[in-house]
Amino acid sequence: MAVWPAWEVREHGSVTSWYAVRLDLPDGGRVDVLAVVAGGGVSIEEVRAQPPLSLGDLAALVDWIEDPLLEACGVDSGSPCEPLGAPADRYRPAWPRGAEGWRLVAEAYRAAQAEGVDPVYAVMCATGLSRRRSLELIAGARDAGFLTPGHARR
């Protein structure tokens, strides 16, 4: 496994780092991953595999890369990123749809703002979803009136 830094964001005393990870498989295949390390936890932004991974392998991908990636980054592997209202689980927790889900997204977002940490990452941790999907949920919470508009409209 090879790991190299892609970019890093420092904000309010916290650091979020993106890393490119390459796994060379014994059968000659290759997996390229864009992983995010923040708060002692790892999440996956993008995966490209040749040949394609099975669903079981894709689900196990974080297990394959988490410890070596955190070790390479010098981060303690005790992850504070646990879903809200659900037991800590390595896989995506069940998330309520509609107004109840948007309300929980808004709570996680506002709590992170109050603590001075990245609110989008907090929603990612709470939902177990990607950054893109978390941003869609935040937009839905705004549209439903649970969060104030992101910018003033003219």
Task: Find the mean pLDDT for residues 42-66.
Answer: 82
Radius of gyration of the chain (CA): 17
* Residue extents of the structural domains in the chain: 2-73, 82-154
pTM: 0.45
Token look-up 């609110």 returns 119
The pLDDT assigned to 94 comes to 63
- Residue 120 pLDDT exceeds 90: no
The pLDDT assigned to 146 comes to 93
The pLDDT assigned to 75 comes to 53
pLDDT above 90: percentage of residues in the chain: 13
DSSP string spanning 72-104? HHT--S------TTS---SSPPP---HHHHHHH
Three-state secondary-structure class, residue 130? coil
The pLDDT assigned to 40 comes to 64
Could you tell me the sign of the dihedral formed by the alpha carbons of 98, 37, 34, 65, in that order?
negative
| pLDDT tens readout for residues 69-116 | 766 666 544 444 443 333 334 444 567 788 888 999 999 999 988 888
Do residues 120 and 131 make contact, with C-beta atoms less than 8 angstroms apart?
A: yes
Computed over every residue of the chain, the mean pLDDT equals 77
- Residue 141 pLDDT exceeds 60: yes
Cα–Cα dist 17/40, whole Å? 11
Token look-up 């190299």 returns 4
Nearest residue to 37 (alpha-carbon basis) of 2, 1, 8, 59: 8
Cα–Cα dist 62/44, whole Å? 7
| pLDDT tens readout for residues 35-52 | 887 766 677 888 999 988
Count Cβ atoms within 10 A of the Cβ of residue 65 and give its class: 0-12 exposed, 13-18 middle, 19 or more buried. buried
Nearest residue to 73 (alpha-carbon basis) of 31, 30, 41, 47: 41
On the CB side of 151, how many CA atoms lie within 13 Å of its CA? 2
